[in-house]
Amino acid sequence: MPENPTGVAVLVAGGGGYTRIGIVKEALPAALWLTAQGITAFVLTYRLPREGWHDGPLVPIQDGQRAMRLIRANAERFRVDPNRIGVMGFSAGGHLCGMVAARSDYRSYTPVDAVDDLSARPDFAALLYPVVSLGPPYDRTTTRRSLVGETPTLEMSEMWSLQTYIKAGCPTIFLVQADDDQVISPEHSRVLDEACREVRVPVEYHRFAVGGHGFGIGQSDAPVALWPRLCRLWLTSISVMR
């Protein structure tokens, strides 16, 4: 196992609108970058709502919560600090990681073993161009269709909207999006930023004028490509990196 001088671990989730998972373009490059920073990275291959699972839209958050608990249960084996485990998600993966962070006290599945007695709460969350709201006017996303269908009630849309669950005590959030994102409206990040500030959840929001959607790591010549360095500085500022 590679050395981990920082003791930090991060669970990474790629996007794909909950119809696929962006492993090659998002999750794996992010994991390699994290490893280069001395951080232990885990790539989450989560189940998708439309694959026929009994719990439907719950299965991604079930997998995210279970993964967080498994990392904590094996912290000594992985040589990580159980109090410095975070999440990093892109697009729909950002929605998933945000829900894991904001709904860590929600029992999304029946406990399997003693591992499920452990906390699923991340200590920090980095969300890149995340889906946040599933309600109008921000509901023109594949994520919305995958989770709540074509004609959901407003109640159902709110049930799966991340900002609904932001409350005092949520993990600190690092947020990045480009204003010219044509896939996920930059209003999603604005909504999340405002929800965090309203209840004083620490949030660092970086808006870039140019970058589009799906820029991942190192895939852009625009200033948005600087976000990994900003993320590392943020981890230092919140005393995750020492």
Q: Where are the domains of the chain?
A: 9-236
Q: What is the pLDDT of residue 162?
A: 98
Average pLDDT rounded to a whole number, residues 143-168: 96
Q: What is the pLDDT of residue 170?
A: 98
Q: Which CATH code fits 9-236?
A: 3.40.50.1820
* % of the chain at pLDDT higher than 90: 94
Task: Using the predicted structure, report yes or no on whether residue 125 has a pLDDT greater than 90.
Answer: yes
The answer to whether residues 194 and 164 touch, using CB atoms and an 8 Å cutoff, is: no
Which of the four pLDDT bands, split at 50, 70 and 90, describes residue 3?
low
Q: What is the pLDDT of residue 1?
A: 45
For residue 137 the two structure tokens come to: 């006017």
DSSP category for residue 136: T
Q: How far apart are CA 145 and CA 149, in angstroms?
A: 4
* % of the chain at pLDDT higher than 70: 98
In one letter, which amino acid is 231? Answer: C
How many Å from the N-terminal Cα to the C-terminal Cα in the chain? 21
**Strand 172-178 with 124-128, pairing:** parallel
Task: Using the predicted structure, report yes or no on whether residue 29 has a pLDDT greater than 90.
Answer: yes
The answer to whether residues 88 and 10 touch, using CB atoms and an 8 Å cutoff, is: yes
For residue 90 the two structure tokens come to: 């892109």
In this prediction the pTM is: 0.96
Name, in order, each residue with C-beta under 8 angstroms of 110's C-beta and a sequence gap of 6 or more.
none
Burial (Cβ within 10 Å: 0-12, 13-18, ≥19) of residue 89: buried
Which of the four pLDDT bands, split at 50, 70 and 90, describes residue 56?
very high
Burial 178-214 (b: 16+ CB within 10 A, else e): beebeebbbebbbbbbebbeeeebebbbbebeebbbb
Q: Write out pLDDT tens, residues 168-184.
A: 999 999 999 999 999 99
Average pLDDT rounded to a whole number, residues 2-26: 91
Q: Write out pLDDT tens, residues 204-224.
A: 999 999 999 999 997 677 899
Q: What is the pLDDT of residue 219?
A: 67
Q: What is the pLDDT of residue 104?
A: 94
Average pLDDT rounded to a whole number, residues 102-130: 97
> For 138-188, where are the E strands, in sequence order?
172-178
Q: What is the pLDDT of residue 227?
A: 97
Reduced DSSP (H G I as helix, E B as strand, rest coil) percent helix, strand, coil of the chain, to 5: 40, 15, 45
Q: How far apart are CA 12 and CA 86, in angstroms?
A: 9
Average pLDDT rounded to a whole number, residues 55-72: 98
Q: Is the dihedral of CA 4, 219, 190, 131 positive or negative?
A: negative
